Amino acid sequence: MTDSPQPRSHEFFMRRALQLAANARGFTSPNPMVGCVIVARGCVIGEGYHRRCGGPHAEVWAVRSVPNSLRDLLPEATVYVTLEPCSHYGKTPPCADMLVAERVGAVVVGSLDPNPSVSGRGINRLRDAGIPVTVGVLESECRELNRHFLVRQELHRPYILLKWAQSADGFLDRRRDVSQAPCAFSTPLSRQLMHSLRACFDAIMVGAATVMADDPALTVRDYSGRQPRPVIVDRCGLVPPSARVFSTPGAIYLSATARTDLPPEVEQIIIPSDASPRCIIEALASLSVSSVMIEGGPTLLRSFINASLWDDARIEMAHFSLETAGIAHMDIPAGIIDIKPAPDGQNSIINVKNASPMAF
């Protein structure tokens, strides 16, 4: 699939492009994260990344960053880009046409863009103009970086992450009354990491039981990032209108009946009282939600696991057990890819990948 061999330097510069792309984590949805590096005579002469949805793409920023004194090197330069340059007019002009106009010497692409309006066309546009193109350098890393985007394009639904914290023996909480705070499994440092993860999602979903037990705000705190939309699945209309989550901007409320006691800013969606996980996700997709983190209790989490409607799971396991004081037990689904210590070394982070996620 290449026009030239892949020297080791290709991977070196593609890794830099991946680093640049990751700078925009949480800010490009529904667009992918993309990084670009321009190299001439073995040196980087320009680099950039796609910063926000609707803004210039990575290739544009990279070309703009090339000093005027070095622009004469573009015809002999190699452009490294983590995702295939676009070939269509969207909110910005086609990047493939821009690279052709700049008469760059060669292009190295990490992965193809699965978007039907782009896939393969950007590569063909460059090759038709006589520009050598190499495809597939660090492809798995480039695809993993844009897992949210790829799931939406290839499975035709939002990307879904299941997230929960538990005791060492698998319980999500301890026995308590409503006046007591939920059991704290996370440490201050791991909570900050969790909030940084929240900032990467369009929406955070919980069920009615979680809202009534914990009264969460579902906001990003202790971290600078965008705020996801909170989603409350409340089939029977049990959540009180005083719940903090209804004060969070962009709140989405899914229930079998419409309510008049909620703030007018809350977006209500009617779903069947026995709505399946697929029905819930289709409702979110209709609101252009591209990624959702499910932080609900065991009933909501298990419903998505049983439907195989999830892509990844992140479980934080505390170093202590609850034994007979524990409630709401969760089994870790199959597909563990790694178990790592949390940042402070006290807890463990278990990452799980679904081998057969549902497609729409």
SS (H, E, C) the chain: CCCCCCCHHHHHHHHHHHHHHHCCCCCCCCCCCCEEEEEECCEEEEEEECCCCCCCCHHHHHHHHCCHHHHHHHHHCEEEEEECCCCCCCCCCCHHHHHHHCCCCEEEEEECCCCCCCCCHHHHHHHHCCCCEEECCCHHHHHHHCHHHHHHHHCCCCEEEEEEEECCCCEEEECCCCCCCCCCCCCHHHHHHHHHHHCCCCEEEEEHHHHHHHCCCCCCCCCCCCCCEEEEECCCCCCCCCCHHHHCCCCEEEECCCCCCCCCCCEEEECCCCCCHHHHHHHHHCCCCCEEEECCCHHHHHHHHHCCCCCEEEEEECCCCCHHHEEEECCCCCCEEEEEECCCCCCEEEEEECCCCCCC
Q: Do 220 and 198 meet the contact criterion of CB atoms below 8 Å apart?
A: yes
Residue 62 to residues 26, 37, 45, 73, 160: CA-CA distances in angstroms?
A: 21, 6, 9, 14, 32
Residues annotated as part of the active site: 59
Cα–Cα dist 12/18, whole Å:
10
Cα–Cα dist 203/359, whole Å:
19
